[in-house]
Amino acid sequence: MTIAVGDRLPDVTLVKATAEGPEQVQSADYFKGKTVALFSVPGAFTPTCSAKHLPGFVEKAGELKDKGVDEIVGTAVNDAFVMGAWNQAAGSQDITMLADGNGDFAEAVGLTMDGSGFGMGKRGQRYSMLVEDGVVKQLNVEAPGDFKVSSADHMLSQMS
C-alpha cells in the first residue's frame, strides 16, 4: 500500500552520508520534531536527477527554509558513499542525503519501481513529500518518466 497524506512514515534504517562516513539512522527518530522536505530519485547521478531534481532543491533551499522547512533530505536506492559523492558533486550543505541502499524505505512507503530494463533493479520512484513530525503533509508522486510534481518549485507552490 502506498503511503498517503496523513500517514506516519514507517520506521526503517537509513544511512546518512556524512563527512565522517556512513551513519545509520532510524527514520522514526530522524523525522521526529521537525519539518522536512523529502525528495526521492531513482538514482544518484542519473540524468534527470542530476540535471533537474537535486539542483532545484539546492536552488530553492533558502525559500523552503523561509517557509518553515527545517531540513531538506534526498533519498535514493543507492549506498551512502554514492549519495555523499552525488551531494558533493551537485548538491550543497543545505541537502542531507539519506541512503536507502536496500530499498527498505521505498518498499515501506509503497513507492518502488522496476528499473531492471535499465540495469538498475528495484528502485524508489521519483517523488517529493513534506513531512511534519514524521507525518506526511504533502505527497507528490511522478508518473513514470515525468518530472513535474516532485520539484522544489511545485512543493513551494503548495506551501503558499
Write the CA distances from 56 to 17, 76, 134, 149, integer angstroms. 20, 16, 23, 12
Q: What's the pLDDT score for residue 123? A: 81
Q: Which residues of the chain have pLDDT under 70?
A: 119, 121
Q: What's the pLDDT score for residue 119? A: 65
Cβ neighbours of 142 (radius 10 Å)? 22
38 flagged as catalytic = no
Nearest residue to 153 (alpha-carbon basis) of 58, 89, 36, 83: 58
Q: What's the pLDDT score for residue 140? A: 97
**Non-local CB neighbours of 66 within 8 Å, separated by 6+ positions:** none
pTM for this predicted structure: 0.94
Strand partners, 136: 131
Q: What's the pLDDT score for residue 121? A: 62
Q: What are phi and psi of 69, to 5 degrees?
A: -75, 125
Q: What's the pLDDT score for residue 114? A: 76
Active site residue: 12, 44, 49, 111, which one?
Answer: 49
pLDDT in tens, 9-54: 999 999 999 989 999 999 999 999 999 999 999 988 887 878 889 9
Residues found in the chain: 160
Sheet holding 95-99, edge to edge: 23-26, 13-16, 95-99, 71-76, 35-40, 127-132, 135-141
C-alpha cell, 13: 534504517
- Domains, the chain: 13-159 (3.40.30.10)
